[in-house]
Amino acid sequence: MARPARSRGPYRDPRLVERQGDVLGPSSLLLAVVMVCAVVAMGAIVVGVGRLVPTPVPTQVRTAQPSHVAFVTPVPTGGPSPSSSPRPPAVARDVLRVAFGDPAPVVERGQQVGSVTVRSAVYRSSTEGLEASSGRRWFRVALTYRATAELTYESGRWSALGANGRRYLWARARAPDPALGTGTLEAGKRRTGYLVFSVPATVTIVALVLRDADARDIAVLAVR
């Protein structure tokens, strides 16, 4: 049997050449598509598994923050006020309050020894020739004491209470005659006298406050 003539180059079986052409044709495109789909599917599976596994959250290390110290200015609890009013606190709620013109009981050591009544209350720019300081005026009152037992009266026991809640002490200025002053009344005796207070011109006085010998408030007498 005669051998087929050899062509240049390596010998190739025609059947293999035909099969190779099949693989390189449409079948090769289909195979490539299948492989790409397989790779995409594998990638999707890997991503899904990654989402199911929780990613550990890194622990944050908190650094200690410096503390802030607030400095509070202490509130003074005592001592005289720098203003002209030496006794600013208002009277207690349980202190006896009396209407203008009504007698207020005068009590010493728990015993009533008489009564006192406000007769008049007026503002003046001067008193007995003494002009009031700038921005101030005089507040002049007339009081009448009646004794049912030995009763001690004293101008320094009185203070004027302003609508602003502050007190103004007896001014020690010359009052019209007769000035109240200081003294003692026997039972059945009476005395009427004047008191003068120096108050700001913009402040309205609403009452007078009477203290006993122990410097405790015993009565508030309205002046209006």
Q: Are β-strands 96-98 and 217-222 bridged in parallel, bridged antiparallel, or unpaired?
A: parallel
Residue 81's pLDDT band, with cuts at 50, 70 and 90, is very low
Rounded Cα distance between 128 and 149, Å, is: 34
Average pLDDT over the chain reads 76
Q: What is the dihedral of CA 161, 167, 169, 175, to 10 degrees?
A: -30
Of residues 33 and 128, more confidence is placed in: 128
Per-residue pLDDT of 128-137, as tens digits, reads 888 888 999 9
- Largest Cα–Cα distance of the chain, in whole Å? 176
Q: Are 144 and 190 in contact (CB under 8 A)?
A: yes
Region 26-38: mean pLDDT is 65
Measured between its terminal Cα atoms, the distance across the chain in Å is: 155
pLDDT at 92: 79
Q: What percent of the chain has pLDDT over 90?
A: 46
Region 142-159: mean pLDDT is 96
pLDDT at 144: 97
pLDDT at 120: 95
Region 72-80: mean pLDDT is 37
pLDDT at 176: 82
Q: Are 142 and 194 in contact (CB under 8 A)?
A: yes
Q: Closest Cα to residue 174, out of 120, 132, 118?
A: 132
- Identify residue 163 by its one-letter amino acid code: A
Of residues 47 and 197, more confidence is placed in: 197
Rounded Cα distance between 215 and 157, Å, is: 7
Q: Hey, where are the domains in the chain?
A: 15-51, 96-222
Domain 96-222 -> CATH class: mainly beta
> What DSSP designation does 100 have?
T
Q: Is the model's pTM score more than 0.75? A: no
pLDDT at 115: 97
